[in-house]
Amino acid sequence: MNEVDDNALATAAMTALRERGPLGLEEWAQCVSEFGSPSDIAEVLEYLDDPIIGYLPGGQYVALDGLLEGLVFTHRLSDVEIASEVLEATPDLEPVLRFASSIGGEARVFEAEFEQDLLRERGIDAVLSRRVVVLPRGALANFTAGDLVAVAVEDGELTVWQADVEDEPDLAQALEKMVAENGVEALEAVGWQLAVDDSSLFTVPSTPFGEMFAAAGYEDQ
């Protein structure tokens, strides 16, 4: 398959995933069968590199931009986060940050291990989070420790605001079923699967995801 065909396949595959997903690999390959045999296409799709693609615990692929549109995840602030205006996104905000590099105007999403100089400039020596959200100065001026920030996808953009809990879902039963069927998974993928299985979840500011996960008896590894 030449480069032009690869590009065309990728475009068609992402369109199919958005319109028909979530899809297993074989199903996904069948959706773009005009590009070749299902086995050849599946091999290309398995290694398709696009930040919009999410891999679910059950083995399906999903287009994250469509899945996450309109969903809200919250995070409870610490004194350090307020002082530095850097949010430790893991685990609460992980499901919504995979494909994002920015939030609104000046806020940015970074892989923490690659931004040590920036973190030190904000007065942080180390973080436990895989990803951090660096907010513009003054963004958390009216917050105190324990307040919630909400991060949501609206029209493809990530927005941040101060929030109050409007829903406290009990995830114990859903997580027990998911773990029994698929084992322990990355928490971001668990969040995506929960949203696929129950479209009412995360539609309003809820208890932070990590707290719901812990309340159900699980730990983020």
- Per-residue pLDDT tens over the stretch 107-139: 788 888 888 998 999 999 888 888 898 888 888
Q: Please give the single-letter amino acid code of residue 35.
A: F
**Rounded Cα gap, residues 156 and 167, in angstroms:** 24
Judge whether 118 lies within some domain: yes
**CB-based contacts of 17, cutoff 8 Å, min separation 6:** 23, 28, 31, 53, 61, 62, 63
**Which of 191, 187, 125 shows the shortest CA–CA distance to 153?**
191
Check residues 150 and 51 and name the one with the higher pLDDT: 150
Judge whether 36 lies within some domain: yes
Length of the chain: 221
Which tens digits make up the pLDDT trace of 59-76?
Answer: 899 999 889 988 999 999
Same domain for 129 and 92: yes
**Rounded Cα gap, residues 97 and 99, in angstroms:** 6
The pLDDT of residue 218: 76
Same domain for 179 and 157: no
Please state the domain count of the chain: 3
Count of alpha carbons within 13 Å of 130, Cβ hemisphere only? 13
**Beta carbons of 193 and 178 less than 8 angstroms apart:** yes
Largest Cα separation within the chain, whole Å, is 58
Domain range for 207 is 172-215
Which tens digits make up the pLDDT trace of 8-42?
Answer: 999 999 999 999 989 999 999 999 999 988 888 99
pTM (2 d.p.): 0.86
> What is the enclosing helix (H) or strand (E) of 94?
helix 94-97
Residue 200 has pLDDT above 50, yes or no: yes
Q: Please give the single-letter amino acid code of residue 33.
A: S
**Beta carbons of 148 and 74 less than 8 angstroms apart:** yes
> What percent of the chain has pLDDT above 70?
92
Check residues 77 and 177 and name the one with the higher pLDDT: 77
The pLDDT of residue 102: 55
Judge whether 220 lies within some domain: no
Judge whether 56 lies within some domain: no
Same domain for 178 and 155: no
Judge whether 66 lies within some domain: no
Q: Determine the distance from the C-alpha atom of residue 162 to the mean position of all C-alpha atoms in its chain, rounded to a whole number.
A: 19
**Rounded Cα gap, residues 86 and 8, in angstroms:** 39
Phi-psi region of 123 (alpha: psi -120 to 50; beta: other; left: phi over 0): left
Judge whether 58 lies within some domain: no
